[in-house]
Each structure stands twice: as structure tokens, then as C-alpha cells.
Amino acid sequence: MKKINKTDKQIFKTYYDSPIGQLLLTSDGKALTGLWIEGQKYFASTIKEEPIQKDELEIFVKTKDWLDRYFAGQKPLPQELPLAPEGSDFRKAVWKILCNIHYGEVMTYGRIAKIIAEQKGLSSMSAQAVGNAVGHNPISIIIPCHRVIGTNGSLTGYAGGIEKKKKLLQLEGAKITLP
């Protein structure tokens, strides 16, 4: 039998069948730590331990309700759920900005870079660095990385795939022209 260290974290998982495919949800028992679309780039990349399936965990019940409302065309907010994505301070700063992009709206990587630069007191920030942080978002859909677009309105760089990004933006009635 494996001896559990006090530093070992237990991670729990459940699944959700969505209109864009099966989603894997993970939690530390209190907050949501991950939500990935099956087959997406960086799938479950922040999970270091083997998660234990626990469908009835309160955060999973709340998250599934959130997702039900989202896919029904309602407008739940990321702030309704306790979120604990793992990442650097820079990535967390980018993800915090993503949480403030309203349902049905979009923001460019360049705009997010300007906001980060202002927050840090810098003259500029790399939109490419922002893109990397957006792409490594471990809580897809709820932290709405699908709402980030290229400067020219292009739907670039969604880890879940461009078709899924299009579907999510169409569901939200985003005010951009989708190719």
C-alpha cells in the first residue's frame, strides 16, 4: 500500500458529455482545477497525480449545472464557480482577463497584451506570450479562451480545435464574422 505524504494532493475527476464532445473535469476537492475537451492540445497537462473518479463531488455538481446552463444559451459567469487553475503568475493574470470577456464578445491577443503591459507598468507585452498563456488555459469554456481572436478577426490558436471554437462562439452569438 502506498503511503500518502501530507504534501500529496488528491485530485478528483468526472466527465461531462457536451455538444462539442466529452469534457474531463478535475478538482482538488474544493475548486475546479481543470476542464478539457477530449483530444484537445495539452489535454490534462496540469494533472500530475492519477485522479480518482468522484462524480458526486459538490464542485462537479455545480460545474455540470453551469455547463448545462451555458450550453442551453444562458450566460453563466466564470465567477460563479471556485476556480484554481495551475500556472505561472503571468498565465494566471491572462486567465483573469479572460474571465472578464463577456458572453458573446471577443477580445484580441494584442488587446490582452496591452492590458497586461499596463498592469505591469511596461511599455509593451508580447501578444505571442499572451497566446501561449491562452493556449495553456487548463479550464476551457469556463475561463473563456475561445473568446480570444487574432487582430484581423481570425479564429487562431484554439487548443480544442477551430471547429469547436466556432461552435462555442456561434452558441454565444458572438458579434464577429465567422469564416
- Residue 95's nearest CA partner among 116, 120, 68 is 116
Bridge partner residues of 83 (DSSP): 32
Which listed residue (11, 127, 145, 148) is catalytic?
145
Q: Is 145 part of the annotated catalytic residue set?
A: yes
Helices (H) and strands (E) in the chain, counts: 5, 6
- Cα distance between residue 122 and residue 129, in whole Å: 14
Residue 115 phi, psi dihedral angles, 5° rounding = -65, -45
**Antiparallel, parallel or unpaired: β 32-37 and 52-53:** unpaired
Q: Residues 77, 59: contact at Cβ < 8 Å? A: no
CA–CA distance, 113 with 124 (Å, rounded to integer): 7
Residues serving a catalytic function are: 145
